[in-house]
């Protein structure tokens, strides 16, 4: 990622992330705790879906790929 000269933050990805944060807060009418709860619940749901996929999918189906539960 290239650093943005204005604020030393990553370029376009930072703008997308900023927009997503604002959208999430707007959805929850500015309630940051409600937004965090929703994001944690979404994260939990996606981790369960990933675990189910890992259990149901064969190595041949995924060509040896295995999911990672942590960001790298």
Q: Examine residue 6 and state whether it is found in any structural domain, yes or no.
A: no
Residues 13-71 pLDDT 10s: 889 999 999 999 999 999 999 999 999 999 999 999 888 887 777 666 667 777 777 77
Question: Residue 25: which residues within 8 A CB-CB, separation 6 or more?
Answer: 31, 32, 35
Q: Which domain holds residue 52?
A: 31-72
Q: Examine residue 58 and state whether it is found in any structural domain, yes or no.
A: yes
The total of structural domains in the chain comes to 1
Q: Examine residue 70 and state whether it is found in any structural domain, yes or no.
A: yes
What pTM value is reported for the model? 0.63
The dihedral sign for the CA sequence 49, 53, 55, 56: positive
Q: Examine residue 36 and state whether it is found in any structural domain, yes or no.
A: yes
Q: Examine residue 3 and state whether it is found in any structural domain, yes or no.
A: no
Q: Examine residue 68 and state whether it is found in any structural domain, yes or no.
A: yes
């Amino acid at each position: 990622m290239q650093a943005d000269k204005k604020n030393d933050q990553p370029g376009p990805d930072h703008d997308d992330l900023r927009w997503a944060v604002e959208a999430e807060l707007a959805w929850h009418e500015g309630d940051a705790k409600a937004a965090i709860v929703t994001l944690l619940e979404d994260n939990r749901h996606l981790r369960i879906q990933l675990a189910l996929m890992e259990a149901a999918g064969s190595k041949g189906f995924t060509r040896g790929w295995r999911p990672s539960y942590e960001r790298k």
